[in-house]
Structure 1
């Protein structure tokens, strides 16, 4: 059994006003969502945690925080609004177009066979060999070394709310931030 209730004239006018405002503000609402998503992704880089709050594995090779050596990955995070996307309707996508991003998001391992490699150094002023590697073009001393077979392992350090099965799993706190910002926008526009 369904029961229909009539809204008061005042409530109906307010509801219509809200619906018209939201309908006319679709692109702005999508921009708000995109902005919140990029902010939340950037928090992952600053806090060295995945979107669900788990700390990233610490670095083994260098000091500092993971994924923040030069800042290229963090700086590449952006969003795109799709106001009339045919297959899904309106929406917003957030992420990066850097080719190496999936290796950090999901992790990877690669076996490297034993091989010989040239390494390059810059001589010190006193003629001794420096201890820092340099590019071949900047070197004045080269040495061949034997590299043993080994496995390169990069730990997964998720910064996007995508799980190992490549499904979006939005954290509750991110949903709440989006709702909060949309609510503020609507209240400010009415």
Structure 2
């Protein structure tokens, strides 16, 4: 899975004891079912957090830079931080069970950049800027192409855009509690005499 992926580590002694217990008490099919249920829960939880613009730690994502926020509000008014077209970053999340491992992540190329932050190098390039020409003068203000009657080719120099980290993958405290509950329910469901 390309894009972004996280690994969650817990206290080794506790995890080893719990995993040993699960391995003994659940069949391989039971463990796969448990991991699938945990994965489905984490998909929903991660999407819900992304819609609220929260990290797994409950911190609000850093706001958009003012200039970009102004530009985006003109292009896509009311659209949240990590959404531009039709998809929110959490919409491109997937899960996969491989043996006794649950993998979660996204193949969206920007998934890792949003999770960890990134420096994006923009090479020098040509662009066309638009102005309005009236009464023998060109206004110094840029206008959109539809309102323009004068265009000029310019070279935009190479530059770097720093994308701040906005963590969206991970396990919150609420998620950890739910994982314990799901595990307990699966284990109780496999105990002799337990109600199905």
| TM-score tier after normalising by the smaller chain length | 0.5 to 0.7
TM-superposed deviation, 1:26 = 1.7
Which 10-residue stretch deviates more, 90-99 or 171-180?
171-180
RMSD in angstroms over aligned alpha carbons?
Answer: 3.2
TM-superposed deviation, 1:56 = 0.4
Is the CA contact 1:32–1:178 (under 8 Å) kept in the aligned structure 2? Answer: no
How does 1:40-119 map onto structure 2 within 5 Å?
40-60=45-65, 61=68, 62-63=72-73, 64-70=79-85, 71=87, 73-83=89-99, 90-110=100-120, 112=122, 116-118=126-128
Please give the TM-score of this superposition, normalised by the length of structure 2: 0.60
Please give the TM-score of this superposition, normalised by the length of structure 1: 0.62
Distance in 2 (CA, whole Å) between partners of 1:185 and 1:151 is: 50
Q: 1:132 to 1:181 in 2, by over 3 A?
A: farther
Q: Which runs of 5+ in 2 are unaligned?
A: 1-23, 74-78, 132-141
Question: Which structure has the larger Rg over C-alpha atoms?
Answer: 1
Is the CA contact 2:126–2:155 (under 8 Å) kept in the aligned structure 1? Answer: yes
123, 132, 147: which one pairs with 2:156?
147
Is the CA contact 2:130–2:143 (under 8 Å) kept in the aligned structure 1? Answer: no
Match of 2:177 in 1: 176
Structure with the larger RCO, 1 or 2 (CA within 8 Å, 6+ apart): 2
